[in-house]
Amino acid sequence: MARNVVITQKYLEKGHTQMEVDSVHSVIERKLKNREIFLPSQYATITKEARKAPSPYEVITPDYTFFKNYGIKDYLIYESIRLGRGAGDHCVTDIKALRYNPNGTIDYKLQFSDDFVPLPRRPKKITSLINSTPSLYESRQPISKIKYDHLQELKNVIPKDCHTFYDNLPFK
């Protein structure tokens, strides 16, 4: 909303699962083939290397601060995207596409060939809160002690210069 961008979200239909992004994943998977990966950051590097022209893929590596808590009702413009209210009415699983408009409204389609129609719900006006959505996490999320211990055991087959990453993983 702050950048005045319209976002269209399309849902796959059974039997029609090919998407433009499939080619991106294919290129990255080919680059990953027969490569040893010891750190998550290596995935970002390999993803950038996967395409040279017209330019390398842009990789954004989020950390815990990236994730916002959009589940707080006070921050929701719509409490539901359900189309109907009673038995026999269209429901969320009937939606084929959603369009999120910069003014905060949402439009939907029940068929890809249909025109977008406004969601039959009244949006709340909360534009002043958009940039202040609270973080979902206060710190890095810990893994279980068992997983931590298993990763420590794997250090026997991981290069020593990667050990610090595994040593510094938070666990509970």
Interval 12-36: pLDDT, tens: 777 666 777 788 999 999 999 999 9
Mean pLDDT of 39-43: 95
Does a structural domain hold residue 102?
no
Q: Which amino acid is at 51?
A: R
Q: For 139, which DSSP code? A: S
**155, 163 contact by CB (below 8 A):** yes
- Give the pLDDT score at 109: 96
Long-range contacts of 106-113 (CB under 8 A, 24+ apart): 106/77, 106/78, 106/81, 108/81, 108/83, 112/10
Going 25 to 31 to 35 to 40, the CA torsion angle's sign is negative
- Give the pLDDT score at 31: 95
Does a structural domain hold residue 130?
no
User: What residues have CB less than 8 Å from 40, skipping those under 6 apart?
Assistant: none
- Give the pLDDT score at 138: 95
Does a structural domain hold residue 164?
yes
3 state SS of 10: strand
**119, 112 contact by CB (below 8 A):** no
- Give the pLDDT score at 27: 94
Q: Which domain, by its residues, includes 164? A: 142-172
Say how far apart CA 131 and CA 3 lie, in whole Å. 11
77-97, pLDDT tens digit by residue?
A: 888 888 888 888 888 889 999
Does a structural domain hold residue 151?
yes
- Quick check: 130 pLDDT over 80? no
Does a structural domain hold residue 101?
no
Total domains present in the chain: 1
Say how far apart CA 63 and CA 86 lie, in whole Å. 41
Mean pLDDT of 100-108: 91
3 state SS of 8: strand
Which phi and psi (to 5°) does residue 10 adopt?
A: -110, 140
pTM score? 0.68
Q: What angle do CA 125, 130, 132 make, to 5 degrees?
A: 130
Does a structural domain hold residue 118?
no
- pLDDT band per the 50, 70, 90 thresholds, residue 44: very high
Does a structural domain hold residue 167?
yes
